[in-house]
Amino acid sequence: MKITSIECLVLDEEYPYVILETDEGITGFGECFRRAPYVSKTTIETIFAPLVIGKSPFNSEHIWDNMLRAGGVAGPHGALLTAAAGVDLALWDLKGKALGTPIYNLIGGKSRDKIKVYASSLVRDLMPKEEANRVARFRDEGYTAYKMHSAVPGRIDDPRDLTVETVKAIRAEVGYDMDVLVDVNSAYSVHHAIEIGRQLQDLEVFHFEEPVHTRNYEGLAAVADALDMPVASGENSFTRWEHLRLIREGRPDIVQPDVVKVGGITEFLRIEAVLSAHGATMTIHNTQPYGSTAAHAHLLAPSNNFPYAQEYNIETVGIRDNDSILDTPYEVEDGFIRIPDGPGLGLDYNLEKMRRRSSDAPSGFRPAWGHMQ
């Protein structure tokens, strides 16, 4: 089987999807991280296309290494790896479909049927009482943990920060039955992160995510050493080498690889091997509801390295909540997401719908960093 064409469809001007066609009539689907979607599209259709067309999807390791080398001029981070992720997921989707088996059977099998997830709130414009009421609503829907995004990223130690007040309001509303996770996306200096962190651990926050700049490894280690509460980081580490440096120098208690940021399943498996060899505790970073969520579910199916509830985006997402691009729903039920059992990723994409929602260029400027992760 050979790949005959590759294209990247940008849905709703935000979600890049890779479509691989083969000479056997099998179609593979892959999802990229949603930031800079048209950069991903250009990278895939110009730099990566010659590396993929005419190749067998079973040569995914070779293709991945070639993508990393070919994109070296653009730097081995960010948009390059997120674009490679879409290609890699589509290759694994093709392999599973060609063999008539789910991806999890290609990487070790399945030790469970579903993954426990936590409700990840990605908005920052809620007042403490509003956030607390929201936590109660998702508790009633079956979730046992909730992550709030707070502080003001890009404005270090901003006096408008209501992180502690919000956690207090949540505890007043739901008590201590719900685990609360706090993500400030690098909004604190080291000394302020320690000051806030001590208040959060008194409120029994489950983990404190990205308290300082993601490349301030010394500062991250200082925060982690000063607190009894677990400190998490890793969503902005893109390769196995970056993750290795993160755990050696930053020493977070929890590491958070993201399959659509690290370049796909191929590199995720390498990262997991590196992290597990160093005794790291892992949880996934995951803010996209379909390709990313399904890929993570397959990756966690055989693994014992992810002991906690995993992230799931509870915000309105057009491709899921406004005329879904799947013909068969793939959603959370009672706080769990099922591991798909269909061939490949196991998702029933509607390509006709996807084409109707795609565009070759944005209609206007969009901020690369908005209120959502």
pLDDT value of residue 71: 73
What was the pLDDT predicted at 139? 97
Q: In this predicted model, what pLDDT tens digit does every residue of 215-262 receive, in sequence order?
A: 999 999 999 999 999 999 999 999 999 999 999 999 999 999 999 999
| Domains contained in the chain, CATH given | 3-100 (3.30.390.10), 105-356 (3.20.20.120)
Q: How confident is the model over 335-358, as a mean pLDDT?
A: 98
User: Is residue 279 scored above 60 in pLDDT?
Assistant: yes
Q: How far apart are CA 251 and CA 43, in angstroms?
A: 33
Tell me how far the alpha carbon of residue 225 is from its chain's centroid: 26
DSSP 94-107: HHHHHHTSBGGGGT
For 47-90, how does the pLDDT look when each residue is reduced to its tens digit (9 = 90+)? 999 999 999 999 999 999 999 998 766 665 678 899 999 999 99
Q: Report residue 373's pLDDT band, with 50, 70 and 90 as the boundaries.
A: low
Q: State the average pLDDT over residues 351-367.
A: 90
Instruction: Give the rounded percent of residues in the chain with a pLDDT score beyond 70.
Output: 96
pTM: 0.96
pLDDT digits (tens, 9 = 90+) for 79-123: 889 999 999 999 999 999 999 999 999 999 999 999 999 999 999
The tokens describing 347, both together, are: 């998702």
DSSP 225-248: HH-SS-EEE-TT--SHHHHHHIII
pLDDT value of residue 307: 95
Residue 372: per-residue pLDDT: 42
Q: Residue 350's pLDDT is what?
A: 98
pLDDT of 371 = 41
What is the pLDDT at residue 365?
Answer: 74
What CA–CA distances, in Å, run from 18 to 40, 50, 260, 329?
10, 15, 12, 20
Q: What percent of the chain lies above the pLDDT cut of 90?
A: 92
How much is the pLDDT for 367? Answer: 63
pLDDT digits (tens, 9 = 90+) for 294-330: 999 999 999 999 999 999 999 999 999 999 999 999 9
167: left (phi over 0), alpha (psi -120 to 50) or beta: alpha
